[in-house]
A and B are shown apart, each in its own frame.
Chain A
Amino acid sequence: MKPANQIRQWVSGVGAVTVAALMLSGAAPGLAQESESVSVSAPMVKGALPVDDPNAAIWSTAKQAKFPMSPQVHWPNRILETTVKDVSVRALHDGTQVAVLLEYADPTEDPDDAAAIEFMVGDKKAHFAHGQPMAQVEGGPVNIWYWKNKDKKGVDMNAQGFGTLKIQTHQDVKATGAFSNGTWKVVFTRPLATEHTAEDTQLALGGFINIAFAVWDGRKDGSGDLVEKGSQKAVSSWWYFRAEAPPDYSGYYYAAFAAALALGFQFVLIRKLKKGQAA
């Protein structure tokens, strides 16, 4: 074979492989990009959830997400500066209960230190500021899980608009906090699903739901008044939360089957072509 012919063959051979790769990868998903946290993912654990223990070793098996906080400036009474600048979040579930761990820096432990998690309830979108009414969109309620240091318990609440915050008659949320070295660790626990679907957010495995956070530093000013109280708090925007479904390997089975089919197709094709040439 002449060298020029060989080169041409090379070009077309390599080109054909490249074209096939381009066409096949055209619809393939892009590589995952590293970015700031946008969601909290709760892996499923076997055995007991660390519902009362913010320092349990098992928390490290959950990936930590970190969300920036802002002072609540959206509606009066506002506050322009708050103590807590970020909240780090981990979560776990065991198939029936979910546990969410909030971690944030606060220089001092105060009786009025408090934290809350907010969820949308049902299919309707809810504004992150207590589900306040929106002019052009029919909004839904929010479900708020609240913890205050001196109360030593979790409170399950709802709101749909300012001034509508209400403690539920059925309390499903438990919460416990631990302060150490200028860091609060607060664990909230609740069953993944409850009977009260109109008030409680329902955590279906594998599904993404909206989540937001709020923190109050319970310090007092010179005259003995709380600096952060009520609507004067640190808040986050809406982010995502997901209780992970049990691992699903079906994607690998489908891929192996498809690759085997392609291999078989090649085999048959080449045999057929060789027969044709021989004839």
Chain B
Amino acid sequence: MGGSLVRPVVLILSMYVFLKFVVPNIPGSAPLPSSLIFLYLMLTTTGIVIFATLSRESKDAFFAPILNFLTGENIGAMQAARYGFLILFPLLVGWQTYGSTATSDAPPAENRTIHPAPPGEYTGLSNPVSKTPENIMQGKGFYAAFCSPCHGGKFDGKGPAARGFNPPPANFSDPTTIAMLQESYLFWRIKKGGVGLPIEGMPWKSAMPRWEVELPDEWIWKIIMGEYDGAHQSPRTWE
């Protein structure tokens, strides 16, 4: 009797598990917003109901267990589940309504782009300073003097001046920072600083200095070399 409902229930549950837990783990994917999951589950349910009501037999087979669950007599232990459902359903509707109408205590969500696109004139610039051990050493010296207070002596973003800053200073030893960027990108970020970011990078929050007013370009290129070497990373290339 109840067998005809098992398949739809399993189908909807699997759909939920797939959307909630499988989709976010597909490479290049991201967690789905709950409103989208809700929409997909509604579509799945609608599909199931349409399929189940195509013929009179399938319709009866589909609704009989629901009807029995809601109105049947002598259903034994199911009685408790019925009352549970009848109490739970209005409560869930109330909770859902509260959630969507109550005023939120959370501050506005911030979606800051960590590595926004650089201005055109900075793409594809190559480091004009030759990569000699002396230049790398000099770059590391400049790094220690100008960058390490925030980005850290260990290139991990944990310098003594870092604690109050939000967003936090970049951790160069993390493979998702400078290892994913070209030297020209770093040149732009160091030269123009936080205030040089486009709007999606939220320039008003960044404490990164605009080093172009204090350091010559050659020093900046040397700092970039010292930074990659010290953090044991390599710049991204076009190849």
Contact = CB atoms under 8 A, between A and B. Distances in A.
Contacts of A68: 163-164
Contact of B13 (A19, A38, A139): A19
Interface stretch (A5-13, A151-159, A175-183): A5-13
A259 B94 contact: yes
Interface stretch (B35-43, B52-60, B178-186, B221-229): B35-43
Nearest to A126: B204
A173 to B, nearest CB: 23
Contacts of A139: 204
Contact of B65 (A12, A19, A128, A258): A12
Given A12-B65, A15-B10, A262 B161 contact: no
Nearest to A256: B94
Interface residues of B, number: 81
B78 to A, nearest CB: 6
Nearest to A245: B103
Interface stretch (B22-30, B85-93, B123-131, B135-143): B85-93
Consensus secondary structure, chain B interface: helix
B87 to A, nearest CB: 9
B97 A273 contact: no
Interface in B1-44: 1-3, 5-6, 9-10, 12-13, 16, 34-35, 37-38, 41-42
B81 interface: yes
Given A13-B69, A23-B38, A135-B196, A208 B163 contact: no
Contact of A8 (B1, B38, B210): B1
B154 interface: no
Given A23-B45, A80-B161, A254-B98, A135 B195 contact: yes
Contacts of A17: 81, 84-85, 88
Contact of B209 (A1, A75, A136, A255): A75
16 contacts: A9-B65, A10-B81, A11-B2, A12-B6, A13-B81, A16-B5, A18-B9, A28-B95, A28-B100, A29-B99, A81-B161, A127-B204, A134-B195, A238-B205, A248-B103, A251-B102
